[in-house]
Each structure stands twice: as structure tokens, then as C-alpha cells.
């Protein structure tokens, strides 16, 4: 029977059946807005070197993205702002005083190798900014571990110094050695005390441009949560794992481990990357736990004071397995064989 003209017609199709009014450009713009507080604090504490590093990374990433898409004869994706986010995140994970040509090399690697080689946004297995940072750390170890002191232009006699993590690791290792020595702590050459929690909270410490101010990063993370760009699962599990591990591992105080280094920016902005993190809530909890655990294992037993970047990259590699293990079964599916009854 032919349906009446006034009858309602429904189109049946495969899921998803709903559409959120969210675009890639809108998501990337939200991330850029969320990064503005920590960017501003980094510029305030490190001055013009931070400005030039940020400008170099962002502009190089944009140009590299455009050239790669042109060479591959694919649609230009510069307008989705993902290259801007990659450049900004890379810059915020670099020391302010790094030579600008190294920032250019890292930015080209981030876009050209870690992203476009795999097909572009949505196909890269590793976070491009973190992959570039790891590449630069291996290739340019000296400049990548040379840190400007905050307000260096006011105290030129002490332009570079150690990060709180490096100082903390040296201090507590020496303190533990002194406790086991019959001659006590005064035989150990400890000249620097770890930074205060207040300094780490506001950012008055040496380190990467965007990792120093935990307060600014928390404000940015709160904005992303409010905008529902990210969920709480990965950041909370990441930070909780670092905190709880620190309580039982001894050495540095737990809050110092959370506020120092790249844990805050890693948990809130790097590990939550849509492409390289799990899609399920359970998977995100597993992912956050793995990032926090690996970070602390590297910090405690590795020769490098920081382990956040490598921890996230390792978990990026196992993300497909986490998705597979935590993906809910379709209704009516046979759990043992994965076939419908």
C-alpha cells in the first residue's frame, strides 16, 4: 500500500544517530583558549625568549602543514587550527632559551613526521608535540636540559639553573645517603633546597615555558572540563596515581611530584588528546593510571628526572589495545566468540 503524503517517513541508517554541533576548529580553539593562561605565565617569567620560541613553533607548524598537504595533493587543513595547537603545545614543552633553529627542526618533525606521514589529523598514533619533544631531547640533549631562571633579565648573573625535579632528585638522594652515613648530612654537598609549593603553584621556577605554573594549567583544564572538551577520567587518574605512588615511594613529597615538571600539562593537555587516547571511560581510567605509573617509575629509577613525556608516548602505543579490551559488547553479542546469537 502506498503511504499517504502526510505520513511521516523515517530513514534507517547505521549509528551514530545524533550529531553534536562541534567542529574540529571549535575544539582546537577551545584548547588554544585553555592554554592562554599558562602561555601568559610563561611569557611573564621567561620574557622575550619565550615569545620567540612560541612564535617560531606555531608559524613553522602552520607552514609545514600547508606544504605537506600540498605535496600529498590533499585538502589544506591549516584552517582547522590543529597545527596551531601542535605548535603551541610543543613550544610550551620547550625551554625558553633553546636556539630557534632547533625549535624549527622540532616543529617540522611534529607535523611532517609525527602527523602527516600517517595521513594527518586523526590517524597519528602518537601525540605529535610529545613525539617532537622526545626527538629533540635525544637529538639536542644539552639545550633541551638548559633552563632559564625566572625573571632572568632581572638577575643576569644567574641566567640558568636546575629545574625543581632535578634539584629535588639530587637533594633527596643525597639526604637518603646522609641518613645511612655515620657522618651525617653535613658531609654531602647540598647547596639547593627544593622549590616551595607556592613557587611551583604560580610558576616562579625554572622549567619548560608552559609547565611551570600549576595554577594556570589548572585554570585551563577547568575551562576544558566546563566546555566538555575533555572528561575528568584521564587527568584525575593520572594525577591521583602520581600522588598515591609518591606517598608510598618515599623521597620527595607527593604534592611536589604533582606540581613539579610536566605532570600537570601532561595530564590535562597531552594525555587527553582525542586521537591518541582511549574512547571509553574505562579505557581512559586505565590510560591515566598507566601514564601516572610509568611517569613515576621513570622519575624514581631512570637517569632522567622527568618521565611524563615518555610515559604518555608509551601509553599512546598501547591505546589501540586498551580500546579493544574496554570496548563494550553490542547488545546480544556472544561475549566469548564476539558473534550474534
Please write the tens of the pLDDT for every residue from 222-270: 999 999 999 999 999 999 999 999 988 866 788 888 888 889 999 999 9
pLDDT of residue 319: 94
Q: Does 282 or 18 have the greater pLDDT score?
A: 282
Provide the pLDDT confidence category of residue 206 given band limits of 50, 70 and 90. Answer: confident
Indicate if the pLDDT at residue 79 is higher than 60: yes
Looking at the predicted structure, is the pLDDT value of residue 177 above 50?
no
> What's the mean pLDDT when you consider all of the chain?
83
pLDDT at 11 exceeding the cut of 70: no
Q: SS3 for the chain, per residue?
A: CCCCCCCCCCCCCCCCCCCCCCCHHHHHHHHHHHHHHHHHHHHHHHCHHHHHHHHHHHHHHHHHHHHHHHHCCCCCCHHHCHHHHHHHHHHHCCECCCCHHHHHHHHHHHHHHCCHHHCCCCCCCCCHHHHHHHHHHHHCHHHHCCEECCCCCCCHHHCEECCHHHHHHHHHHHHHHHHHCCCCHHHCCCCCCCCCHHHHHHCCCCCECCCCCHHHHHHHHHHHHHCCCCCCHHHHHHHHHHHHHHHHHCCCCHHHHHHCCCHHHHHHHHCCCCCCCCCCHHHHHHHHHHHHHHHHHHHHHCCCCCCHHHHHHHHHHHHHHHHHHHCCCCCCECCCCCCEC
Mean pLDDT of all residues in 206-219:
92
- What is the pLDDT averaged over residues 321-331? 83
Q: What percent of the chain clears pLDDT 70, i.e. is strictly above it?
A: 77
What pLDDT score does 137 carry?
Answer: 92
pLDDT score, position 174: 42
- Could you tell me the residue ranges of all domains in the chain? 24-150+162-325
d(C-alpha 339, C-alpha 341), whole Å: 6
Count of CB atoms within 10 A of residue 87's CB?
30
pLDDT at 168: 54
Q: Does pTM top 0.85 for this prediction? A: no
267-278 mean pLDDT: 93
- The whole-number pLDDT of residue 178 equals 41
pLDDT of the residue at 10: 57
Q: pLDDT tens for residues 108-152?
A: 999 999 999 998 888 999 999 999 999 999 999 889 988 888 875
10 vs 51, higher pLDDT: 51
Arithmetic mean of pLDDT, 88-92: 96
User: Could you name the CATH architecture of 24-150+162-325?
Assistant: Orthogonal Bundle (1.10)
pLDDT at residue 188, rounded to an integer: 39
Is 80 exceeded by the pLDDT of residue 18?
no
Tens digits of per-residue pLDDT, 27-38?
999 999 999 999
Instruction: Check residue 305 and give its pLDDT.
Output: 67
Amino acid at each position: 500500500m502506498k503511504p499517504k503524503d502526510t505520513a511521516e517517513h523515517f530513514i534507517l541508517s547505521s549509528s551514530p544517530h545524533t550529531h553534536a554541533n562541534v567542529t574540529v576548529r571549535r575544539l582546537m580553539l577551545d584548547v588554544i583558549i585553555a592554554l592562554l593562561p599558562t602561555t601568559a605565565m610563561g611569557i611573564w617569567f621567561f620574557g622575550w625568549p619565550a615569545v620567540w620560541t612560541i612564535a617560531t613553533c606555531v608559524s613553522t607548524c602552520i607552514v609545514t602543514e600547508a606544504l605537506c598537504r600540498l605535496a600529498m595533493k590533499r585538502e589544506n587543513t591549516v584552517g582547522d587550527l590543529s597545527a596551531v595547537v601542535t605548535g603551541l603545545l610543543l613550544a610550551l614543552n620547550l625551554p625558553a632559551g633553546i636556539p630557534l633553529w632547533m625549535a624549527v627542526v622540532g616543529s617540522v618533525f611534529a607535523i611532517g613526521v609525527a602527523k602527516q606521514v600517517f595521513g594527518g589529523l586523526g590517524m597519528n598514533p602518537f601525540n605529535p608535540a610529545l613525539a617532537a619533544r622526545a626527538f629533540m631531547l635525544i637529538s639536542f640533549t644539552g639545550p633541551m636540559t638548559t633552563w632559564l631562571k625566572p625573571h632572568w633579565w632581572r638577575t643576569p648573573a644567574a641566567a640558568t639553573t636546575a629545574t625543581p625535579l632535578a634539584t629535588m632528585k639530587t637533594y633527596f638522594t643525597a639526604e637518603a645517603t646522609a641518613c645511612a652515613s655515620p657522618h651525617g648530612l653535613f658531609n654531602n654537598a647540598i647547596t639547593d633546597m627544593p622549590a616551595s609549593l607556592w613557587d611551583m603553584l604560580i610558576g616562579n621556577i625554572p622549567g619548560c615555558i608552559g609547565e611551570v605554573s600549576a595554577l594556570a594549567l589548572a585554570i585551563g583544564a577547568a575551562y576544558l572540563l566546563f566546555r566538555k572538551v575533555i572528561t575528568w577520567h584521564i587527568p584525575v587518574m593520572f594525577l591521583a596515581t602520581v600522588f598515591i605512588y609518591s606517598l608510598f615511594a618515599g623521597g620527595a613529597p607527593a604534592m611536589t611530584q604533582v606540581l613539579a615538571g610536566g605532570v600537570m600539562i601532561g595530564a590535562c593537555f597531552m594525555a587527553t588528546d582525542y586521537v591518541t587516547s582511549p574512547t571509553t571511560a574505562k579505557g581512559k581510567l586505565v590510560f591515566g593510571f598507566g601514564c601516572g605509573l610509568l611517569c613515576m617509575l621513570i622519575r624514581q629509577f631512570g637517569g632522567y628526572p622527568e618521565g611524563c613525556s615518555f610515559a604518555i608516548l608509551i601509553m599512546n602505543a598501547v591505546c589501540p589495545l586498551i580500546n579493544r579490551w574496554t570496548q563494550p559488547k553490542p547488545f546480544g553479542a556472544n561475549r566469548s566468540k564476539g558473534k550474534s546469537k
